[in-house]
């Protein structure tokens, strides 16, 4: 995997170097042509046509700027093509999937480029239809991608929370305590500390005495109420089997 990543990075930087040299050369040539047009037009206007300096500067500068814009459009197309070539050099996916990933991976780019194109479309003298169409399309796409990304992130967070919860096992419901003491409802105050009950403390003391004097540890005793017993009845169980029952008089 690491070798493949290094190979793709090498292809990426190699393609970028060649494409950037081509685009840079085209841009430099466009700048030189614009300067030559300005100087040449200024000289022709003053020397041959007899225009004043301000008239020649205004006329031929505007013509040169217009010609420069026309020549830069192919340069822009070439830059886009170079970007596609560079991206394809470092990817194994098909072109459609690459374009989809580039457009949907970062919706912030669409939220910036879309409004900028809309603003350009509102400037007088610039064709409004293509800029407004592309601008609204990019903005809408960016908002949709952002919305679906947020929904996916929310769903992933919920899934992570659900996966982090401890798994419930059927064995937990079938677990049987080693020692149990079940009591009727009238004996519950013996267990409730708020009502002065100290049965739990006495059981703990008995376990301590047994451990110190007899040398063995009595397993913990689970005490719970059982409405199926008589009000004053109690029941002792070992591993779920009843071994002793009795009644306590209040």
Contacts 24+ apart (CB under 8 A), 219-223: 219/178, 219/179, 220/177, 220/178, 220/179, 221/179, 221/180, 221/181, 222/177, 222/179, 222/180, 222/181, 223/180, 223/181, 223/182, 223/183, 223/191, 223/199
CATH assignment at residue 179: 3.40.30.60
Residue 135: give the domain boundaries: 94-165
Mean pLDDT of the 178-201 span: 83
The predicted pLDDT at position 180 comes to: 86
Q: Are residues 120 and 184 in the same domain?
A: no
What local confidence, expressed as pLDDT, does residue 194 receive? 80
Give the mean pLDDT of 10-39.
Answer: 72
Is pLDDT of 78 > 60?
Answer: yes
Domain termination residue (choose one: 40, 59, 90): 90
Same domain, yes or no, for 12 and 65? yes
Give the lowest-confidence range in 80-94, 154-168, 236-250.
Answer: 80-94
Do 1 and 79 reside in the same domain of the chain?
Answer: yes
Output the pLDDT for position 156. 84
Same-domain status, 156 and 179: no
Give the chain's domain count. 3
pTM: 0.39
Assess whether pLDDT exceeds 70 at residue 85.
Answer: no
pLDDT of residue 92: 63
Q: What is the pLDDT of residues 113-135, one digit of tens each?
A: 889 889 888 888 777 888 889 88
Among 132, 165, 198, residue at a domain's last position: 165
């Amino acid at each position: 995997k690491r070798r493949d990543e290094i190979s793709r990075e090498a292809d990426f930087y190699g393609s970028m170097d060649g494409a950037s040299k081509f685009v840079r050369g085209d841009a430099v040539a466009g700048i030189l042509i614009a300067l030559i047009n300005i100087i040449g037009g200024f000289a022709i206007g003053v020397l041959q046509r007899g225009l004043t300096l301000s008239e020649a500067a205004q006329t031929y500068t505007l013509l040169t700027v217009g010609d420069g814009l026309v020549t830069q459009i192919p340069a822009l197309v070439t830059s886009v093509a170079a970007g596609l070539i560079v991206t394809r050099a470092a990817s194994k996916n098909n072109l459609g999937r690459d374009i989809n990933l580039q457009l949907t991976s970062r919706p912030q780019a669409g939220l910036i480029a879309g409004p900028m194109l809309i603003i350009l479309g509102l400037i007088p003298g610039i064709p409004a239809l293509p800029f407004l169409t592309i601008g609204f399309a990019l903005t809408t796409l960016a908002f949709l991608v952002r919305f679906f990304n947020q929904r996916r992130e929310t769903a992933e967070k919920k899934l992570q929370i659900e996966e982090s919860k401890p798994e419930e096992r059927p064995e937990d419901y079938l677990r049987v305590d080693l020692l149990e003491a079940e009591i009727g409802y009238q004996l519950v105050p013996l267990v409730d500390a708020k009502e002065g009950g100290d049965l739990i403390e006495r059981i703990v003391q008995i376990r301590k005495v047994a451990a110190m004097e007899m040398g063995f540890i009595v397993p913990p005793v689970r005490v719970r109420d059982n409405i199926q017993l008589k009000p004053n009845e109690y029941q002792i169980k070992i591993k779920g089997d009843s071994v002793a029952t009795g009644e306590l008089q209040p």
